[in-house]
Amino acid sequence: MLLAAALAYARLGIPVLPVHPPAGPGVCCCGRPDCDRVGKHPLLRHGLHDASTDRRRIAVWWERWPRANIGLRTGVVMDVADVDSAPGWHGLCLLLGGGPPDGPQVRTGGGGRHVWFRPCGHGNRVRLLPGLDWRGRDGYVVAPPSRHAGGADYRWLCPPTAGLPEVTPALRELIAGPPAVSAPAPVGDPDRYARAALEAEADRVARAPVGARNDTLNRAAFALGRLVGAGMLDEGPVCAELTAAALHAGLGRAETRRTLRSGLSAGRIRPWNQGPSHVA
């Protein structure tokens, strides 16, 4: 059954790879007692980079490992939203306009969902939202009828018999993450620019909707962290303003603290550059 399923995925053009199956509840067949990827890490030496649609190669793999779980490389035929909690599902639905997804869906062995979309060209994103990861370019997912570490099988809720839906603009923007760093145009009054940026980002965080609050805070912290790195803002006032805005939006203090630390750190190492005309 596993070989037949692997070949069926290959016929759809999806590169397939064999994955270590569980040897029992919570035990991986890789033999490592401390394995933290039970039933989810590749059997192949080069992992997903060896994934193939070649029928003969796939047949050889499953002849050698007949119980192997099936991995599917993402970013080629499909991207996958990996949902593992109710807040993650709610956030995904909001990003899709308020309704549930209408594309192929898998019930994972752990009780979550994999929702398939057309590839959007971006890579993987962990914690796109709480309980929601994204598997895109250079990623992979475990597919039905593979066995989960807990003993349950992955199964189709809605098989891929029709076209895949496009990601919405809101979802695409979230997957894309912070914009690429580039040299901005010079500004006449850097101090005034920095103060206006702080006010604008704090306002954006305070008004962020449920499902996008953490990412909005992360983007704001990254943008303002670049100004902190350039010496145009002090970190203390930035943290105070964004913390107040995040709490107003409904984020908890611990989550706010973690996100601020991450976003500011990423921004500080990419300081805002005013361009050649401001170089002494």
Summarize pLDDT for 78-117 with one digit per residue, the tens. Answer: 999 999 999 889 989 988 988 888 889 999 999 999 999 9
Assigned domain for 280 exists: no
Give me the domain span that covers residue 121: 2-176
Total domains, the chain: 2
Query: Is it the case that residue 155 has pLDDT exceeding 90?
Result: yes
Assigned domain for 185 exists: no
Do 102 and 237 belong to one domain? no
Assigned domain for 117 exists: yes
Residues 199, 193: Cα–Cα separation, whole Å: 10
Do 143 and 96 belong to one domain? yes
Q: What is the mean pLDDT of the chain?
A: 87
Sorted by sequence, the CB contacts under 8 Å of residue 261 that are 6+ apart come out as none
pLDDT of residue 173: 86
Q: Pick from 280, 188, 219, 207: which is nearest to 246 by CA?
A: 207
Could you tell me the pLDDT band of residue 163, with boundaries at 50, 70 and 90? confident
Residues 137, 120: Cα–Cα separation, whole Å: 9
- Cβ(104)–Cβ(159) below 8 Å: yes
pLDDT of residue 279: 28
Residues 222, 187: Cα–Cα separation, whole Å: 20
Of the listed ranges 47-51, 189-193, 199-203, 273-277, the one predicted with least confidence: 273-277
Tell me the percentage of the chain whose pLDDT exceeds 90: 46
Tokens 């793999």 — which residue? 61
- Is the whole-model pTM more than 0.75? no
Q: What is the pLDDT of residues 112-132, one digit of tens each?
A: 999 999 999 998 887 788 889
Residues 134, 128: Cα–Cα separation, whole Å: 7
Assigned domain for 52 exists: yes
Most confident range, picked from 56-70, 179-193, 206-220: 56-70
Do 67 and 172 belong to one domain? yes
Sign of torsion over alpha carbons 37, 39, 43, 48: negative
Do 66 and 141 belong to one domain? yes
